[in-house]
Chains A and B, each alone.
Chain A
Amino acid sequence: MTVSTKIAAGLFGKRVDAFTDRNFKYLLIAPAIFILLLIGIFPLINLVVASFQDITILGEDKSFQGLLNYKRLFSDARMWESLLHTVLFMAVALPIELLLGTVMALLLLEKMWGRQIFIALLIIPTVIAPIVAGATWRLMFDNRFGPINQVLGWFKGEPVNIVWIVNSSYVWAAILATEVWQWTPFMFLILLAGFSNVDRTQVEAAQIDGASNLRIFFKIVIPAIRPVLAIALLIRALDLFRLFDIVWALTRGGPGTMTETISTFTYVKGFEQFDTSYTSAVAIVVVVLLSIAVIFALRRVEIAR
């Protein structure tokens, strides 16, 4: 008799005798599973059910509406545009963050004076709440009082009056700059840890063999940190997919819906217009699309094993 069965026997008497060790462990984890189901699966089921109803701010029609919300969703250009914006933000911001993070990590890889202080300063943006970062950059981009126009004016030699967060020509640049400023340090930190753990002997051996720095980087360093890199990219990609705070603080998705992401769209529909059932359908489609993308990404980078 194992320890767990002895404890069970002590607790529940002879009735547990029938339990094998194999079954008893399920009993022990049942409360945890139940709680997880309660907070995870139940809302998901509720979400699915709501997506087939017509609950709005005007009424609580809980009758089955079939695919009404899904039909509406597939013809909702605004929803698809917001999804496209999200993907575009990700496609632009992620490589920039990766590139800048890599450069910064390589620069600070070697021991140098003040290295620790530099690293501490560089990661400050990451510890700021994104909504605060967005609000701060909104002030930075202010066309009258913001320092960005002022600095540009010094270079240009005359006052610069770019209306960063209203003009469609600049608003994307403003959001991307804020996003990259805040999250490049995260990429830098992970890559710095990865680079620090690369086997130095392999690098030295390659150097002795006459390999160029570029070749060493791509043939030895990158393969060595590939799992770390994949995780960093995946985390940032998921973060960028749910991009909300910075956009909300800077533009609220405007002008018009030019910078609306799927998160801001969902928020507006769900929590400003209380178009509850439709928002549920949107959430389900997004979850499905995202799950497919993540599974594909995990297989691609072979880190799921």
Chain B
Amino acid sequence: MRLKVPLAGLLAAGLLFAAGSPATAQSAADRAVEAAKKYAGTTLNITWEAGLQSLDPLNFSGPMWEELTGIKINVIEIPINELFTKTLAEHRARTGAFDMLNVVPAWMPDLAAAGALEPLDDFIDKFGYRDELQDIAPVYRDNQMTFRGKIYGLPDDGDVLIMYYRKDLFGDPANQSAFKSRFGYDLAPPTTWAQFRDISQYFTEKFAPDLYGSAMMRSAGLIHYFYEERFRVEGGKFFDADTMKAQIGNDIAVSVLEGMIDEHQFMPPGVEGWGPIEVLNAWLAGDLAMMGWWPPPGRWSAGYGTDTDALSWLPKSKVAGKVGYALPPGGTPQLAAGFLLSVSADSKNKEAAYLFAQWLNSKEISLKRVQLPFALRDPFRISHFESAEYKALWPAASDYLATLKSAAESGLLDLSIRNTFAYEDALTRAITASFGGADPREALNKAAKEWDDITKRVGVEKQREAYLDWASKPNAYPKR
């Protein structure tokens, strides 16, 4: 008993201390707001992808932040394909035009190495954000935040290419028995690319032209994501780490590309040129049994938020209530872009910019943001996947979140080394040339040679360092 009094006193003192400590008394969002109030009256210039993405800071988070702190948010909308170059160009000119940046993780090594990004570790510690970072799903937290051991961005978007399938078609007893008698195994979401082909073939042969077995994005700019994923699922490595010679012309690479081309016969005619919108339209119109896309169609297929003005361009979903969610064959989906919130090294308001990023990224505010039907930010925190509020949004939302959670554990990183864009460009040209009729082996060998040339220009040692840094991350290659 005698011990209880000092113990209670200690606990009370501890609670009081905790209440008084700025790092633990409030949520990370509240701390950011409190600390940011001293910057009231300033304006933060932030870059954001033009279009739907920007509606978040324009209509939701920007006005809310201004009301809470008095800091005005000026959203500079930039098309995604110009975001990197504009960021770098402003840094080179030292204009200080941007305060907070949206950075695609694959660009981070180039931007950080160029000195365009401010290291965030000190801010994170100063404003007690490190604990909340642990709530970010492992694949984003452990792979995307750091470069050479320093944090340069807060993962802020759960981009990942999952698979959608039609539960009604897969569950139809007639389809199940016909499929099993033809292929010798049960009709279920495919776990291998061979199964994916069989299922595509089955549905296309049975229902085309009313419905096709599958469709995937095939257009330049995106196709490399799908290819990179399958290449690694089949055991491919991008480089020989000793020599830094490109490995994208080997037998695995050729067989993956030939497989992709072969599948086109079971996809809608012209799929070779399809981008995200064509695939999405066909899916929502009920023309596909399977498709691969980022997370938003999971919401839109169910009709969530599609009555908002910003989404009025979307075709009315004919598949609501019929959609199942799965990991793509191989079980290791490509993350395919995503966004980090970073602070510009040239900003004159670095602390204010960081505080806005922390507030946006916090558990509390990010949960609201990933539920904005129009803004395209996808769940990326463990607390998002477990949110009762989110699970109640539509009947199958729990399944959707469970799939995203699995994807956020096993997802594969986009290749992210020095001058990544040049490598992606060469690979994309090889793939699209093969779709257009070129010999896959020849096209890939040409791309491999281009990769070697790029590596030489960057510097073999410099690139090896970047590659090994990337390859050492837990989700660079599938765990076997």
Binding site for B on A (CB under 8 A): 56-60, 142-144, 161, 163, 165-169, 171, 252, 254-258, 268, 271-275
Find out whether the CB atom of B270 lies under 8 angstroms from the CB atom of A255. no
Nearest-neighbour CB distance to chain A for B208, whole angstroms, equals 12
- Identity of the chain B residue whose Cβ is nearest the Cβ of A271 in the assembled complex: B85
Chain B interface (Cβ < 8 Å from any Cβ of A): 81, 85, 88, 92, 110, 113-114, 220, 268-270, 272-273, 418-419, 421-422, 425, 429-430, 432-438, 443, 457-458
Min distance, Cβ B305 to any Cβ of chain A, angstroms: 27
Contact of A161 among B269, B273, B435 (CB under 8 A): B269
Q: Which residue of B lies closest to A253 (CB)?
A: B429
Given known pairs A161-B270, A168-B437, the reply for A272 and B421 (CB within 8 Å) is: yes
B364: shortest Cβ distance to chain A, in Å? 38
Number of A-B residue pairs, CB cutoff 8 Å, is 82
CB distance from A285 to the nearest CB of B (A): 19
Beyond the given pairs A58-B114, A166-B270, A273-B421, 7 more chain A to chain B contacts, judged by CB atoms under 8 angstroms and listed by A's residue number, are A143-B270, A161-B269, A166-B436, A167-B436, A168-B436, A168-B438, A255-B437
Provide the residues of chain A in CB contact with B435, threshold 8 Å.
Answer: 166, 255
Q: List 24 A-B contacts (CB under 8 A).
A: A56-B419, A57-B88, A57-B110, A58-B419, A59-B114, A60-B92, A144-B270, A166-B272, A166-B273, A166-B436, A168-B436, A171-B436, A252-B220, A255-B435, A255-B438, A256-B430, A256-B433, A256-B436, A257-B429, A258-B433, A272-B81, A272-B421, A272-B425, A273-B425
B429 cross-chain contacts in A, Cβ below 8 A: 254, 256-257
CB distance from B459 to the nearest CB of A (A): 9
Whole-angstrom distance from the CB of A164 to the nearest CB of chain B?
A: 9
Contacts of B220 in A (CB 8 A): 252, 254
B270 & A257 in contact (Cβ 8 Å cutoff): no
With both beta carbons as reference points, the residue of chain A lying nearest to B431 in the complex is identified as A256
Checking A57, A144, A166, A171 against B419 with a beta-carbon cut-off of 8 angstroms, the contacting residue is A57
- Most chain B C-beta atoms within 10 Å of own C-beta, residue among A167, A255, A273: A255
Cα A268 to Cα B81 with chains together (Å): 12
Question: Which residues of chain A are near B425, meaning CB under 8 Å?
Answer: 268, 272-273
Give A161 to B209 CA distance when docked, in angstroms.
Answer: 12
In the complex, what residues of A have CB within 8 A of residue B81's CB? Answer: 272
Which residues on the B side are within 8 Å of A143 (C-beta)?
269-270, 273
A285 to B116, CA, bound (A): 33
Given A255-B432, A255-B435, A255-B438, answer yes or no on A163-B88 (Cβ-Cβ < 8 Å).
Answer: no
Q: Output the least CB separation between B267 and chain A (Å).
A: 12
The answer, among B110, B268, B269, B272, for a CB contact under 8 Å with A58, is B110
A197–B220 CA distance with the chains assembled, in angstroms: 50
- The prevalent SS among residues of A at the interface is loop
Q: Which of A144, A167, A271, A273 contacts B422 (CB 8 A)?
A: A273
Which of A58, A254, A273, A274 lies in contact with B433, CB distance below 8 A? A254
Which single residue of chain B is at the shortest CB-CB distance from A268?
B425
- B contact residues around A57 at 8 Å (CB): 85, 88, 110, 419, 421
Complex formed: what's the CA distance from A166 to B219 in Å? 9
Residues in B with CB closer than 8 Å to A256 are: 429-430, 432-434, 436, 438, 443
Report B-chain residues with C-beta under 8 Å of the C-beta of A166: 270, 272-273, 432, 435-436
Residue among B114, B418, B432, B443 facing the most chain A CB atoms (10 A cut-off): B432
- The distance in angstroms between the C-alpha atoms of A79 and B270, with both chains bound, is 29
Cβ–Cβ < 8 Å partners of B92 in chain A: 60
B434 / chain A contacts, CB cutoff of 8 Å: 256
* Residue ID in chain B nearest A159 by CB atoms: B209
A140–B85 Cα gap in the complex (Å)? 33
What is the bound-complex CA distance between A163 and B92, given in angstroms? 42
| Cβ contacts under 8 Å, B430 to chain A | 256
A169 to B436, CA, bound (A): 8
Please determine whether B270 and A163 come into contact, CB atoms closer than 8 angstroms: yes
**Bound Cα distance A212, B458 (Å):** 68
- A255, B114: Cβ atoms under 8 Å? no
Residues of B close to A58: CB separation below 8 A: 110, 113-114, 418-419, 458
In the assembled complex, the CB of B116 is this many whole angstroms from the nearest CB of chain A, namely 11
The 7 closest A-B pairs by CB, nearest first: A256-B433, A255-B436, A143-B270, A168-B437, A168-B436, A166-B273, A161-B269
A169 touches B437 (CB 8 A): yes
Q: Chain A's nearest CB lies how many Å from the CB of B423?
A: 11
Partner of B273, one of A59, A165, A257, A271: A165
| Chain B residues closer than 8 Å to A167, beta-carbon distance | 272, 436-437
Give the residue of B272, B422, B457 whose beta carbon is less than 8 angstroms from that of A163.
B272
Q: Which residues of B contact A274 (CB under 8 A)?
A: 85, 88
User: In the complex, what residues of B have CB within 8 A of residue A142's CB?
Assistant: 270
A4 to B430, CA, bound (A): 67
CB of A230, distance to nearest CB on chain B (Å): 37
Q: How far apart are the CA atoms of A272 and B420 in the complex, in Å?
A: 12
Roughly how many angstroms separate A59 CA and B113 CA in the complex, as a whole number? 10
Complexed CA–CA distance, A273 and B421 (Å): 7
**When chains A and B are docked, how far (Å) is the Cα of A275 from the Cα of B436?**
27
How many angstroms between the C-alpha atoms of A56 and B110 in the bound complex?
Answer: 12
Give the residues in chain A near B114, CB-CB below 8 Å.
Answer: 58-59
The CA of A252 and the CA of B421, in the complex, are separated in Å by 16
Alpha-carbon distance between A36 and B135 when the two chains are bound, in angstroms: 61
Name which of A143, A144, A166, A274 has the most chain B CB atoms within 10 A of its CB.
A166
Q: How far is the CB of A59 from chain B (nearest CB, A)?
A: 8
A255 to B435, CA, bound (A): 7
Q: Are B437 and A272 in contact (CB-based, < 8 A)?
A: no
User: Which A residues are in CB contact (< 8 Å) with B113?
Assistant: 58
Give chain B nearest CB distance to A20 CB in angstroms.
Answer: 47
Q: Contacts of A161 on B, CB cut-off 8 Å?
A: 269-270
| A273 to B457 alpha-carbon distance, docked (Å) | 13
Chain B residue at minimum C-beta to C-beta distance from A160: B269
In the bound assembly, the distance between CA atoms of A247 and B242 in angstroms comes to: 41
Chain A residue numbers with a CB within 8 Å of B438 are 168, 255-256, 258
